[in-house]
């Protein structure tokens, strides 16, 4: 009986030891998962927009650690890049120029057609109702600097992030949305018979909702959030 009792006690001890090891392993796994999420999404930030545009293979995210801004100083963190899609660099009658970045009030976000058909402009740095930010070359955009990967549960990991100040002109109404756009700019070659201008081969954008709460202050939110436009 004494031996049986000692055996049972030893068995219980071994079982508890295994359970503790399993619990420690599960806890460690949860900590690793939480750390990965924090590393990928940022800590203490608000997600103001997350979009994937399939025709250009571009992924966007807009984040900020505050949501109320003086309208003259709305500076946000913009994450963007290529998540696997490619477009052609040279066609039969066209050639790729650059990826151009713009801001605009949301009411103008679809003015540049996604197909590019019939939408021409003499100067892609000066499109009406659009505020030019910068341009990125084809080779640079498809380099590692702008690569977007999905290492953990389809949460995007962006290699590229930059803080950009949104122009005051993008907040044109009492409430609405502004858009951050990337446009694939092409131009016709001499063989096409129409080489006088540029056109948008593809367009994608992410929108952020804004509302004026007084004359100088705007409140930002993600489209679809309660109370957003």
pLDDT of amino acid 175? 92
pLDDT of amino acid 127? 87
Kindly state the tokens that stand for 10.
């030893």
pLDDT of amino acid 32? 37
pTM of the predicted model over 0.95 = no
> What does the alpha-carbon distance between residue 121 and residue 94 come to, in Å, rounded to a whole number?
15
**Which residues of the chain, if any, have pLDDT below 70?**
1-45, 50-55, 88-93, 110-119, 190-196, 202, 225-229
User: DSSP state, 167?
Assistant: P
> What does the alpha-carbon distance between residue 153 and residue 33 come to, in Å, rounded to a whole number?
10
First to last CA, the chain: 76
CA distances from 102 to 105, 117, 133, 164, 181 (A): 10, 20, 5, 11, 5
Chain centroid offset of residue 109 CA: 16
pLDDT of amino acid 16? 42
pLDDT of amino acid 216? 94
pLDDT of amino acid 68? 95
């Amino acid at each position: 009986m004494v031996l049986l009792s000692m055996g049972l006690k030893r068995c219980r001890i071994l079982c508890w030891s295994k359970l503790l090891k399993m619990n420690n392993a599960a806890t460690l796994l949860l900590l690793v998962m939480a750390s990965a999420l924090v590393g990928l999404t940022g800590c203490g930030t608000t997600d103001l927009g997350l979009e994937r545009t399939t025709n250009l293979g571009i992924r966007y995210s807009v984040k900020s650690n505050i949501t109320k801004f003086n309208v003259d100083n709305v500076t946000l963190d913009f994450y963007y890049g290529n998540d696997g899609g490619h477009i052609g660099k040279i066609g039969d009658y066209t050639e790729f120029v650059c990826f151009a970045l713009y801001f605009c009030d949301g009411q103008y976000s679809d003015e540049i057609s996604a197909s590019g058909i019939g939408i021409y402009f003499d100067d892609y740095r000066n499109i009406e109702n659009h505020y030019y930010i910068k341009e990125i070359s084809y080779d640079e955009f498809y380099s590692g600097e702008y690569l977007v990967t999905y290492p953990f549960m389809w949460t995007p990991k962006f290699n590229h992030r930059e803080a950009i100040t949104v122009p005051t002109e993008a907040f044109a109404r009492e409430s609405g949305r502004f858009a951050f756009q990337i446009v694939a700019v092409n131009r016709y070659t001499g063989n096409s018979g129409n080489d006088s201008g540029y056109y948008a081969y593809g367009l994608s954008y992410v929108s952020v909702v804004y509302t004026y709460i007084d004359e100088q202050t705007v409140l930002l939110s993600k489209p679809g959030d309660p109370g957003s436009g």
